[in-house]
């Protein structure tokens, strides 16, 4: 898939049910059918955000890679993998999950459509996204402003005291 039309992408993966690490590793393996040159961050453990009080902690990673598919097709593939791994079709937004895959960045594109917002609307507010992404792609400029992932990570750390 490494051809001139390959687009760099960044995805966030999280799991808070079962063998979280194995769940994420399986999802990465399944993504290899759509992404080339996959690079994975270290695992990052985080408390659930906007979830019920009894939700389990999440294990998260960020992966970067290149794809030859469009953003909507990439979203469909991420959703297909979630379902294949056991996510019910009627799954609630903030419920426990075997795997959750979010598109963070798709090249330098800005997309605001029903069901698809790129860059991910909450990515610069979430340490469990920015810290792993900064580890593997700290110089990536987040459109449209152009602040780098590393800069956003430092700003978030200063504002949250972490």
Domains of the chain: 7-122 (3.30.70.560)
Is residue 50 part of the annotated active site? The answer reads no
Q: Which of 20, 96, 102, 151 is catalytic?
A: 102
Give one DSSP letter per residue of 13-82, joined into a string: EEE-SSSHHHHHHHHHHHHTTT-EEEEE---EEE--SSS-TTPPPEEEEEEEEEESS-HHHHHHHHHHHH
Q: Answer yes or no: 19 catalytic.
A: no
Candidate list 20, 87, 96, 126, residue with the active-site label = 87
Q: Is the pTM of this model over 0.75?
A: yes
- Residue 20 falls in the annotated catalytic set: no
**Catalytic-labelled residue, pool 20, 96, 100, 151:** 100
102 is catalytic: yes
Is the pLDDT at 2 greater than 50? The verdict is no
Which residue out of 96, 97, 126, 151 is catalytically annotated?
A: 97
52-77 confidence digits (pLDDT tens): 777 788 999 999 999 999 999 999 99
């Amino acid at each position: 898939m490494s051809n001139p039309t390959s687009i760099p992408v960044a995805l966030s993966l999280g799991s808070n049910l079962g063998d979280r690490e194995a769940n994420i590793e399986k999802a990465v393996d399944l993504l290899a059918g759509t992404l080339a040159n996959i690079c994975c961050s270290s695992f990052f453990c985080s408390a659930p955000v906007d979830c019920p009080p009894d939700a389990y902690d999440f294990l998260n990673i960020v992966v970067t890679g290149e794809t030859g598919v469009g953003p909507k097709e990439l979203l469909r593939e991420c959703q297909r993998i979630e379902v294949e791994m056991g996510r019910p079709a009627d799954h609630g937004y903030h419920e426990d999950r075997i795997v959750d895959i979010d598109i963070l960045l798709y090249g330098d594109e800005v997309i605001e459509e029903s069901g698809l917002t790129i860059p991910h609307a909450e990515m610069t507010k979430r340490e469990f996204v920015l810290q792993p992404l900064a580890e593997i792609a700290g110089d990536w400029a987040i459109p449209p402003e152009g602040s780098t992932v590393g800069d956003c990570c430092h700003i978030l750390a200063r504002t949250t005291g972490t």
